[in-house]
Amino acid sequence: MIRTFRELTRLKTFEERYLYLQLKAAVGQSTFGGDRYLNQLLYRSDQWKRTRDNIIIRDEGCDLGIDDYRIYGRIVIHHMNPISLEDVELDRDLIYDPEGLICTTHNTHNAIHYGDESLLPQLPNERYKNDTCPWK
């Protein structure tokens, strides 16, 4: 399944977007991120920095692009479709394609990869009149 930003934006809730992106990889599974040399080469490149800035602007710095989930710490740009070492070695366009990228927090990124929903942000419960007064 190829995931796209266009399809993602049709999903209105954070939970729906998370389920759409969820990969459920195993901890320690070999990925592009594990190859430190190429990882740093890519993420320190000028082209990646420009791409990253454009994605942050497009998503308005919000986790999975949802307004109520503003990111106040470090923003991770997630590849919705995992990239391979070969993709990086050949500098394929899909690495920089905005259709395959989304803003996340570090915790949301890990939840997407490893399926740990306890890492996901929770909105506060909706308050109502007298909700802290047990006799009313």
Q: Indicate the number of domains in the chain.
A: 1
Q: Is residue 18 part of a domain?
A: no
Q: How far apart are the first and last CA of the chain?
A: 52
Q: Is the dihedral of CA 118, 116, 12, 58 positive or negative?
A: positive
Q: Is residue 30 part of a domain?
A: no
**Rounded distance, CA 45 to CA 24, Å?**
29
**Rounded distance, CA 73 to CA 105, Å?**
8
In this predicted model, what pLDDT tens digit does every residue of 62-112 receive, in sequence order? Answer: 999 999 899 999 999 999 998 888 898 899 999 999 999 999 999 999 999
Predicted pLDDT of residue 129: 82
Q: Is residue 98 part of a domain?
A: yes
**Rounded distance, CA 50 to CA 3, Å?**
22
The pLDDT of residue 127 is above 80: no
Give the range of the structural domain holding residue 81, as residue numbers without chain letter: 35-119
Residue 34: pLDDT band (50, 70, 90) is low
